[in-house]
Copies of this chain bind each other. A is one copy, B any other.
Amino acid sequence: MAPMTDDSRFGLARSVTLAGPLRLDGGARLAPVEIAYETYGSLDADGGNAVLICHALTGDQHVASTHPITGKPGWWTRMVGAGKPIDPARHFIICANVLGSCLGSSGPGTIDPATGAPYAMRFPVITIRDMVRAQAILLDHLGVGTLAAAVGGSMGGMQVLQWAATYPDRLRSAVAIASTARHSAQNIAFHEVGRQAIMADPKWAGGDYYAAGDPPAAGLAVARMAAHITYLSEAGLTEKFGRRLQARDAKSFGFDADFQIESYLRHQGISFVDRFDANSYLYITRAMDYFDLAEEHGGLLAGAFQGAKRTRFCLVSFDTDWLYPTAESRAIVHALNAAGAPVSFVELSSPFGHDAFLLDVPELNRVVDGFLRAGEDR
């Protein structure tokens, strides 16, 4: 697929417009396909050192560079950078904004060339596989045939597993952290609450809020607050906040944020709306809810990995993650065993719940580093 435009002259932060069409699981054909991405390091002469980083629901391509809106460091500088397990000195690192998101890749906020207006809810519903397909055509564009590794946590891990199911011949190693092979009823339920919060906000206006410049911030903030609770463990919340009150020493007997956990959550909600699009939140949560790798294999997950016998897998879970608990990773390990694919698995201990994959967990770095280096001794 020839690029229509590629502004890679701007350095690391790149975007490309591919002509498409990209055939989507829902039946639609998306054209053109815009993909915003970053790269770090350079591709070896033999093309063997490419590592794809797959980001989570509200993540983006700024894996190890300053976020353009928040001004904060990249979301995975603990894992990606000089001297880190994924190192530009050794790897050609690619991280692309997922399809449906709002940081430059095609999504509901993108202009629909057929109308000249944002797609909004006319953007086709996408799946995790559609995100992976878009990544595959980006790799084609970049001249990357086979990935040394795909690495991701949470929804990033779903994409990694989907890579193994859809393009096993292009994937030598797969690292899926704090993830799952299918969304559970409880996972879907939490996402549905978030979607209902957004759609209940009158400013959502059926998704057509872009022209007015007045997005459904209140609804999106509530969605983020609800989701954020699921990213943290009960024990972690107790350790971090407990029942501690705000600066003033007594309860207000009112509805201000008396407890530190309340103001923390409100801050999480309010700051999120500055950097994320409400419609993208609807589309990406939908893609996650639709995710079930075993579905096309009669419910047998091993069927999804039949082509991936030559891919090496590394699964990591966290003991306090109740969003995608260890049992989910273990089910994947069993399926990989049944499919005859090599897999190493570890449950790490952390008080921080699901969020641990983004935090300072030295054991996680050691596991990923060791796994990737072992795969490079070829």
Contacts and interface: CB of A to CB of B under 8 A. Distances in A.
Given A192-B265, A259-B289, A243 B185 contact: yes
B225 A222 contact: no
Contact of A189 (B183, B195, B261): B261
How big is the A interface, by class?
35 or more
Contacts of A218: 200
A6 interface: no
Contacts of A73: none
B184 A290 contact: no
Given A189-B237, A237-B186, A243-B185, A255 B195 contact: yes
Given A27-B253, A185-B238, A193 B243 contact: no
A202 interface: yes
Nearest to A222: B197
A346 to B, nearest CB: 23
A270 to B, nearest CB: 10
A32 interface: no
Q: Chain B CB within 10 Å — which of A243, A251, A292 has the most?
A: A243
14 contacts: A27-B253, A121-B255, A184-B243, A186-B234, A189-B261, A192-B225, A192-B262, A196-B225, A196-B265, A199-B255, A200-B221, A200-B222, A234-B322, A251-B290
Interface in A21-50: 25-27
Interface of A: 25-27, 121, 124-125, 182-186, 188-190, 192-193, 195-197, 199-202, 218-219, 221-222, 225-226, 229, 232, 234, 237-238, 240-243, 251, 253-255, 257-259, 261-262, 265-266, 269, 282, 286, 289-290, 292, 322
A229 B186 contact: yes
Secondary structure of the A contact surface, majority rule: helix
How many copies of this chain does one complex carry? Answer: 2
Given A192-B259, A193-B265, A197-B197, 10 more contacts: A125-B254, A183-B243, A185-B259, A189-B262, A189-B265, A196-B222, A197-B222, A199-B255, A222-B222, A258-B289
A184 B259 CA distance: 11
A282 B256 CA distance: 12
A185 B266 CA distance: 14
A25 B250 CA distance: 12
A261 B192 contact: yes
A285 B2 CA distance: 57
Contact of A184 (B25, B125, B199, B234): B234
A200 B322 CA distance: 28
